[in-house]
Amino acid sequence: MKVGILGSGNVAKSLAKGFIAHGHVVMLGTRNPAKLEDWDWDNRKGLVGSFADAATFGELLVLAVKGSAAAEALHAAGITNLAGKVVVDATNPIAETPPENGVLHFFTTLEESLMERLQREFPAARLVKAFNSVGSALMVNPKLQGGKPTMFICGNDEAAKKSVTEILDQFGWETADMGKAEAARAIEPLCILWCIPGFLRQEWTHAFKLMRV
């Protein structure tokens, strides 16, 4: 599959390597392609272009930019280039204010998530929230005590969530589908919880698991 990743940060890079390792072809999109010229793809070369180039290239897209710039990046990608495509939304709406006792601030409320805002602004894109509740170093085939961790996902398009579940299977995750876009109100704040041990104790090597009877 051709995957267009909007972003050039740790999430974009980690997922790019993961997709390539699993046999996909990847283009990273950034405002400044020169900044990825020297990046080490681990000998598996991917492509780099603008946000619009990556959105045009990808049959499936990943949104991996700063939360406050997500709408801007999608506009730069081009509304027509997003139409009908699955967009894996890994963003979190983290505010600029520093964490308080390890607790991040969000610029959204519990009544409206970032993904809902984006889905409303880009109705033709098939957004699926995923990968936002774990650090970038653990996104692809994490090896954790206790077995496979759980990735919580949501989105309005059932077929899009099925595609993302297949990717999560490849990437070594169990998927928990939490329903429609409104569930991002609960999934995005998992980032706050995930980060607390990191900010308080420099512990960044955990992931969530849903346990069942």
- Could you list the residues that contact ligand NAP (CB under 6 A)? 7-12, 30-32, 64-67, 69, 72-73, 90-92, 94, 132, 135-136
Residue nearest to ligand NAP (CB): 9
| DSSP letter, residue 138 | G
Q: Is 6 left (phi over 0), alpha (psi -120 to 50) or beta?
A: beta
Close Cβ partners of 56 (under 8 Å, ≥ 6 residues apart): 4, 78, 81
Asked whether the beta carbons of 27 and 47 are under 8 A apart, the reply is yes
Provide the token pair at 180. Answer: 């429609």
Using the minimum distance from each CB to ligand NAP, give the nearer residue, 72 or 158: 72
Nearest distance, CB of residue 127 and ligand NAP, angstroms: 14
Minimum Å distance from CB 89 to ligand NAP? 9
Q: Is 99 left (phi over 0), alpha (psi -120 to 50) or beta?
A: beta
- Of 100 and 212, which has the nearer Cβ to ligand NAP? 100
Q: Residue 145 CB, nearest distance to ligand NAP (Å)?
A: 20
CB of 99 to ligand NAP, least distance (A): 13
Comparing CB distances to ligand NAP, the nearer of 12 and 87 is: 12
* Nearest in space to 126 (alpha carbons), one of 58, 47, 46, 53: 58
Q: Which is nearer to ligand NAP, 12 or 160 (CB)?
A: 12
CB of 213 to ligand NAP, least distance (A): 30
Alpha-carbon torsion (122, 91, 127, 63), positive or negative: positive
Beta carbon nearer to ligand NAP, 109 or 212:
109
